[in-house]
Structure 1
Amino acid sequence: MKNLIALAQLIDRLNGLVGKAMGGLVLAAILISAGNAVVRKLFNMSSNGWLEIQWYLFGTVFLLGAAYTLREGAHVRIDILASRFTPRARALVDAAGYLLFVLPLVGFVTVHGWEFFYLSWQANEMSPDAGGLVRWPAKLMIVLGFALLGLQVVSEMIKTFHRLAAKE
């Protein structure tokens, strides 16, 4: 069990670093958005590339930040039900939810997202909009985000089973 706890701690650290880095991307998105708005209002100019980079940054923050959000226990829960459960029952419900719903979804999106990314990367897919950006980096974030989420689910399950075993 010690090795599994060490693995969970490693995953937690990885997702903690990634999650904290997302703060920098939020700042970048804000600055780009503000700069783009100022240029548009003052000079009546705009660029599809600047708009797309805002979308890419938002998508990256959302996708790569999901694992950090899970690590911090900040995902939405149905507290009306969960508050009535014992800690052990909540842990069992969490573990069942991870196994039955989250991990299959993560596996599906990661596998199919890889193909989605790879085809885009092979073709060097570009935005159809004038001045738009290359598309494959945004598609890669889908794969990375769900892979990190899958790792965090594994970490949460290890910690849950460790708590359950320690109380028995």
Structure 2
Amino acid sequence: MVFDKKAIAVNHTRTSLPARTSNRIDKFVKHLSYGIAWVYVLLVVVILVQVVMRKGFSHGLIALEELQWHLYALGVLFGLAYAETTNSHVRVDILYQHFSPRAKAWIEIIGISLFLFPFVFVVFIHSLDFVYESWRVSERSNAPSGLPFRWLIKSAIPLAVALLALAGLSKILRSFAQLQSGGTHGN
């Protein structure tokens, strides 16, 4: 495969710095999310094993039930950033769909700045003490046959909201790129 360096250079200069940065962040979030999505495959296997053990052998394992909770938590926590990056979250588009691209860009910037970032900040700050205390006492399940290392799953909270903040930053950068380009797609 032969690359035309001049064409690449021209395309690279046409794309603004905020748009290129946003594209890189989006790519990072998506790749990380695709990896974490495999947690759902593991979750299905764990659920099937638990169902077979309960229904077939009248014996369930508390550790498997707790593992289900932990896998759900990981999937949802890290799925938030993916949903923000791909616009697959729930929105109310009754009015938004009729706005110009420029107005939509401003709505994204203001909405993320006023709602997403403060939410992420509060969750991140409050989760640090929560995670620290869990690590400090080497928290584990209260159930005798439950999972150890509960501190590990709690550590996902600040990581996931930091990734969500990164996804929000990406969307703000893309919106600024749209404003710079006169309302096109931010490229």
TM range (shorter): over 0.9
Residue 22 of structure 1 corresponds to 36
- Deviation per CA, 1:24-61, whole angstroms, max 9, x where unpaired? 11010000000111011111111111101111001100
Is the counterpart of residue 162 in structure 1 residue 177 in structure 2? yes
Q: Which runs of 5+ in 1 are unaligned?
A: none
Q: Which residue of 2 aligns with 1:141?
A: 156
Task: Return 5+ residue gaps in structure 2 as ranges.
Answer: 1-14
- How far apart, CA to CA, are the structure 2 residues paired with 1:52 and 1:32? 10
CA contact (8 A) 2:46 2:64 kept: yes
- More deviation in 124-133 or 153-162? 124-133
The structure with the greater share of residues assigned to helix is 1
Cα offset for 1:8? Answer: 2.1
SS in 1 for 2:90: coil
User: Is the radius of gyration larger for structure 1 or structure 2?
Assistant: 2
1:81 equivalent to 2:95? Answer yes
CA deviations on 1:48-107 (whole Å, 9 max, x unpaired) are: 111011110011000011111111111111111212222211211111010011001101
One-letter amino acid of the counterpart of residue 52, structure 1 = E
TM-score (norm 1): 0.93
* Cross-structure match for 2:66: 52
8 Å contact from structure 2 (residues 18, 173) kept in 1: yes
Q: How many residues align?
A: 168
TM-score in terms of structure 2 length:
0.84
Between the two proteins, what is the percent identity of the paired residues? 31
